[in-house]
Amino acid sequence: MASQRSHAHTQLGQQLYPVLEQCRKPEVLWAKLATGRYDWLGVRRNGKYVLGRPRLSAVVPEEPAAPPPDDARDLHRIECLGPLQRTPRWESYTAVDEASDTFRRMVAGDPITPLQSSGIWRARLVLDGRSVEERLVVRPLPRLN
């Protein structure tokens, strides 16, 4: 008799992802997640990111949460784009120093910044309406053994 092993009928101990992969570089992690064919599962103790494929959930295009920033009005801001997002989330600041300081803390991993969850984003610092710095920011999931 054939077993009913599938994603719809999971059993205790069943491996959900037929293929597990790992990579060390955040750029490779971004590239794999951006294809929409991988789920990010965590980080090993050795620092390697663990991914599973095929992705278990469908990729659904998201609607922009807010209108795009206005370069004339939102002069100083931080924009954050996830691997599957089409439009970035952004937060405006009144002063150059405030935007720069928040960007530096975000890149350093401070949890009290616009990125408060685990994930990977392309973060861009915009000052006086011009992009001045872009960084890949990784907030890891809990470590796996």
Contact, 81 vs 109, CB < 8 A? no
| 98 and 139 housed in the same domain | yes
Residue 8 lies in a domain: no
| 42 and 81 housed in the same domain | no
Residue 138 lies in a domain: yes
CA-CA distance, 80 to 137, in Å (whole number)?
A: 9
| 125 and 80 housed in the same domain | yes
Residue 5 lies in a domain: no
> Residue 92's pLDDT is what?
93
| 49 and 100 housed in the same domain | no
Residue 80's CB: how many other CB atoms inside 10 A? 19
User: With bands split at pLDDT 50, 70 and 90, how would you rate the model's confidence at 87?
Assistant: confident
> What integer best gives the mean pLDDT of the chain?
84
> Residue 8's pLDDT is what?
58
pLDDT tens digit sequence for 9-56: 566 666 789 899 999 999 999 999 999 999 998 888 898 999 999 988
| 49 and 80 housed in the same domain | no
| 42 and 86 housed in the same domain | no
Contact, 120 vs 139, CB < 8 A? yes
Outline where DSSP puts E strands in the chain: 19-23, 39-44, 49-53, 76-81, 89-93, 119-127, 130-139, 143-144
Checking if the pLDDT of 2 tops 50, the result is no
Q: Which domain holds residue 84?
A: 76-144
User: With bands split at pLDDT 50, 70 and 90, how would you rate the model's confidence at 139?
Assistant: confident
| 116 and 81 housed in the same domain | yes
Q: How many domains does the chain have?
A: 2
Contact, 91 vs 51, CB < 8 A? no
Among residues of the chain, what percentage have pLDDT more than 70?
82
> Residue 127's pLDDT is what?
96
pTM for this one?
Answer: 0.78
Residue 6 lies in a domain: no
